Structure 1
Amino acid sequence: MTTPAATASIGDSEFDRDTAVRRRAGEPHVLDTDLSAGWTIGHGVNGGYLLALTARALGEVLPHRDPFTVSAHYLTASRPGPAEVRTQTVRTGRSLSTGQASLVQRDEDGNEVERLRVLATHGDLSALPDDVRTSAAPPAMPSYEDCLGTEHAPPGTLSSLKQTGIVERLHTRFDPATVGWIMGQPSGRGEIRAWFGLADGRDHDPLSLLLAVDALPPTAFDLGLSGWVPTVELTVHVRAQPAPGPLRIAIRTRNLAGGFLEEDAEVWDSRDRLVAQSRQLARALRG
């Protein structure tokens, strides 16, 4: 398997710098940050990036650092620039702790606007037992070499997608069976599968899993829709520390109705272990 050579380690990559938070002097439960324009989709900031940043902030104030389950409601579209994360510790225990957080920015008039509200439970993934009993299986898809990167797309077909900042920060190779929509031939199944990594080769950790579940193009594209698909609510379960190497992501929707769809994601690591699961509700806005 040929994958990008690692040029950045965990803690020293663009993803880590762009999700960094700073404790505010005299207000230990408030953390300042800057939302990077490098993780935008159109004019808004990617929801998975926001979730990872907020989970990092909660990991700074809770006694446990690893996100186990994170549920977020996206209230307004975030913009690149200064922001603050206001946290509250709800409960602490021996193995798990729960907190909530709000991501807040100021609008052009200086008014506070809440962008995102999160309730999360953190723990220690390294302390989990090794037993696995599951009927789940990794997605059936071609090898890394036989999947398609954005560089393989015909000229002009990904012009709108390539204008988003996040594309340059990801290394994604798609299952050819799930990208017919690029050529105007969506399958109608509402499925997208891909190998996934960060462009600088940084290995994955629980925070990058929160990014991964919301990093692929929306399944609405495979249903024949185009345009923005904003997330209303997103819940992620992190199941294990991911092994080094690229991830495999499979996302699917089974029901688009009334202008909304659900999207289920599974994330598998290089050792064929299910390391994250998610479900989100999103609006399907026609372009």
Structure 2
Amino acid sequence: MPEAASAQVATRATVGDSEFDRDTAVTLRTPGVYDIGLSAGWTIINAVNGGYLLAVLGRALADTLPHPDPFTISAHYLTASQPGPAVVRTETVRTGRTLSTGQASLLQYDDEGREVERIRVLASYGDLDTLPDDVRTAARPPALPPMEQCFGPEDGPAPVDGSSAITERLMLKLDPSTLGWALGQPSGKGEMRAWFGLADGRDADPFSLLLAVDALPPTAFEIGLTGWVPTVELTAHVRSRPAPGPLRVSITTRNLAGGFLEEDAEVWDSADRLVAQSRQLARVRLP
């Protein structure tokens, strides 16, 4: 972990007062129109991370809709977003007593000043605090070694400048059994597991869960592929407000075909509760 991040952990940022909160905050221009400067701090290979972008849109919809928390949000990634100014446009589709639904688009401008839509989402919001505390599940938390036996980006070779700025903002400790790709010996299994948090110590909330489902290295690496794996579509479900403490994230891929793969993610909190799930379709570059 960088020294700056270590210093931040000592004071522990709080929800609402952290780098993640500042970098996902949108400014209302007119009803349904928000401005934001997409931060370069959440980039991978110079493209803005999809989970960070989902959190930005999630924040705008939370301001638009009468309910506070994303329950389900589906995003289609149309073009690659770049750091810099962006506009989010939201629309309320329906409001009800327990759920409200809205849609949002994130747009930027190309070099000739033309508007380009980057992402379009449809989401349903509710209030997680009103849900009954009744869990009946066959799901089990991922079996991860203790955090001190796992490895983060700081344990590997120095990254290429500008290629992995997001890792400086994450507390990411990967299960050694899913790290064969980093040693040139991928297992051939589409699995990635890690302890996850924000580097400044901020506890998780529903919006950072939207980041968590898309913040680990691609499962394609452990299948033996390299390079960028851009998301085509991602649907995330937030199931519960997470307990304080580090999260555990497990991502699996069962099928790569035609240059596309799916990634199924589960996010578990420190109370052993499944707090978020997602599925995404991503494109891979075949040799």
Please confirm whether the aligned pair reaches a TM-score higher than 0.5, indicating the same fold. yes
- TM tier, smaller: over 0.9
* Secondary structure at 1:182 match in 2: helix
Which of 18, 22, 32 does residue 17 from structure 1 map onto?
22
Question: Does structure 2 conserve the Cα–Cα contact (< 8 Å) formed by 1:193 and 1:251?
Answer: yes
Give ranges in structure 2 of 5+ residues lacking alignment: 1-5
Q: Aligned partners of 1:150 and 1:80: how far apart in 2?
A: 22
Q: Deviations over 1:176-217 (max 9, x none)?
A: 000010000000111010000000000000000000000000
Q: Aligned partners of 1:178 and 1:110: how far apart in 2?
A: 44
* Secondary structure at 1:126 match in 2: helix
* Secondary structure at 2:102 match in 1: strand
* Secondary structure at 2:25 match in 1: coil
Give ranges in structure 1 of 5+ residues lacking alignment: none
Which residue of 1 is the match for residue 3 of structure 2?
A: none
**Aligned residue type for 2:166:** I
Q: Aligned partners of 1:71 and 1:6: how far apart in 2?
A: 35
Q: Aligned partners of 2:273 and 2:149: how far apart in 1?
A: 21
Aligned-residue sequence identity (percent) comes to: 70
* Secondary structure at 1:122 match in 2: strand
- 1:102 and 2:102 are equivalent in the alignment: no
Question: Does structure 1 conserve the Cα–Cα contact (< 8 Å) formed by 2:45 and 2:162?
Answer: no
**TM-superposed deviation, 1:43:** 1.8
CA RMSD of aligned residues (A): 1.4
Which of 124, 138, 154 does residue 121 from structure 1 map onto?
124
Which residue of 2 is the match for residue 248 of structure 1?
A: 248
Question: Does structure 1 conserve the Cα–Cα contact (< 8 Å) formed by 2:55 and 2:210?
Answer: yes
* Secondary structure at 2:208 match in 1: helix
Which residue of 2 is the match for residue 93 of structure 1?
A: 96
Normalising by structure 1, report the TM-score: 0.95
Q: Aligned partners of 1:96 and 1:186: how far apart in 2?
A: 43
**TM-superposed deviation, 1:6:** 5.2
**Structure 1 segments of 4+ aligned residues over 6 angstroms from their partners:** none
**TM-superposed deviation, 1:42:** 1.0
Q: Aligned partners of 1:161 and 1:130: how far apart in 2?
A: 46
**Aligned residue type for 1:23:** L
**TM-superposed deviation, 1:143:** 1.1
**Aligned residue type for 2:24:** T
Which residue of 1 is the match for residue 149 of structure 2?
A: 146
Q: Deviations over 1:259-284 (max 9, x none)?
A: 00000000000000000000000001
Question: Does structure 2 conserve the Cα–Cα contact (< 8 Å) formed by 1:169 and 1:199?
Answer: yes
Structure 2 CA distance for partners of 1:6 and 1:282, relative to 1, 3 Å: farther
Normalising by structure 2, report the TM-score: 0.95
Question: Does structure 2 conserve the Cα–Cα contact (< 8 Å) formed by 1:161 and 1:167?
Answer: no
**TM-superposed deviation, 1:162:** 7.7
